[in-house]
Amino acid sequence: MSGHGSSEAVLSLPEVLSGLVAALPETYLTALVNVLPSIAGPDGSAQARLTAAHPGAGLSPRIALLLAAWRTAVPQPSGAALALALEAASNRYEQDIAAHHVDIVVSGPVSDAVPIRLTASVAIEVIRAATRTLLVTSYTAFGVQEIVSEIEAAANRGVSVDLVLETARASGGRLHGASDGRSAFQDLRFHPDVHLWQWASSERRGSGGRHGSMHAKVIAADRTTALLGSANLTDNAYNDNLEIGAVVRDPAAVAGLVDHFAALMHAADAPLIRLPWIPPPAS
């Protein structure tokens, strides 16, 4: 418990500005930025004028913290300079939030209590965000004509598309039957900017003589946004199955993911090799 002679340490002005942009809604911050240039300094009228800029519960104590930090700042900035600093801190905060944001996506049943986005709509959104490169991987692919159309539209606007698919056993993959994901993307087979890849059978070195499966499910736009999850590129997975995923908007993480696949494609003795569009005849 504090004694009568003690006092709380005054936060620095940068600390207070950071706290304001993290705690206050955008409308409050805009109001403060608009009023601050007309205030010469942290004088007696500043508290009332700043509080009145956007009346709301809990604003007055935060204004008191701002004024206390303003008074102790050396050199003491003008109101206009403080407004500029607050606006810059707010813009940077919004950029950081946007760059490190994760949303959960689902297929199948949804909960009325929790607003969660649907896998199909987010997949389309991510594909449309691509401006330079698009990485798409899936274990199986069937149907999903809307996704195919969006990938074609991306390629038509100059996006370089890499499709990494599991193949049928006849092609060295792990899928049963004579067909594989290539059949879903036949409309793209003549497009010069759409490249098809598979995990080479000779590179699938598993323990005990087992061969691994190309099981990754990724849609990555450029090096900034990626959809990761359990859903294959099938109509059932996107609409009917109970699936879960996450869309990641973190350039550092997404760039690492994209670089990982690029290395698997282009390094010496790369395990991912180009896949012909026409599968070999069933034996």
User: Mean pLDDT across the stretch 232-241?
Assistant: 93
- The domain limits of the chain are 13-98, 101-274
| CA–CA gap between residue 138 and residue 84 (Å, rounded) | 48
Q: What is the mean pLDDT of residues 260-266?
A: 96
The model's confidence at residue 7, banded by pLDDT at 50, 70 and 90, is very low
Torsion angles phi and psi, residue 193, rounded to 5: -100, 10
CA-wise closest residue to 227 among 249, 242, 196:
249
DSSP state at residue 84: H
Per-residue pLDDT, 116: 77
DSSP-assigned letters across all residues of 115-160 = --EEHHHHHHHHHHH-SSEEEEEES-EE--HHHHHHHHHHHHTT-E
pTM, to two decimals? 0.66
pLDDT in tens, 133-172: 999 999 999 999 999 999 999 999 999 999 999 998 878 8
Tens-place pLDDT, residues 71-99: 999 999 999 999 999 999 999 887 776 66
Measure the CA–CA gap between 60 and 74, rounded to whole angstroms. 24
Average pLDDT over residues 177-199: 91
| Residue linked to tokens 């074609």 | 152
Closest CA to 196 of 174, 178, 221, 171: 171
> How does the average pLDDT of the chain come out, rounded?
88
pLDDT at 195 (0 to 100): 97
Which tokens hold the place of 193? 């900017």
Residues, the chain:
283
Name the CATH architecture for the domain at 101-274.
2-Layer Sandwich (3.30)
Q: What is the pLDDT of residue 104?
A: 87
Alpha-carbon gap, residue 163 to 189, rounded angstroms: 11
- Cis preceding linkage at 251, omega within 30: no
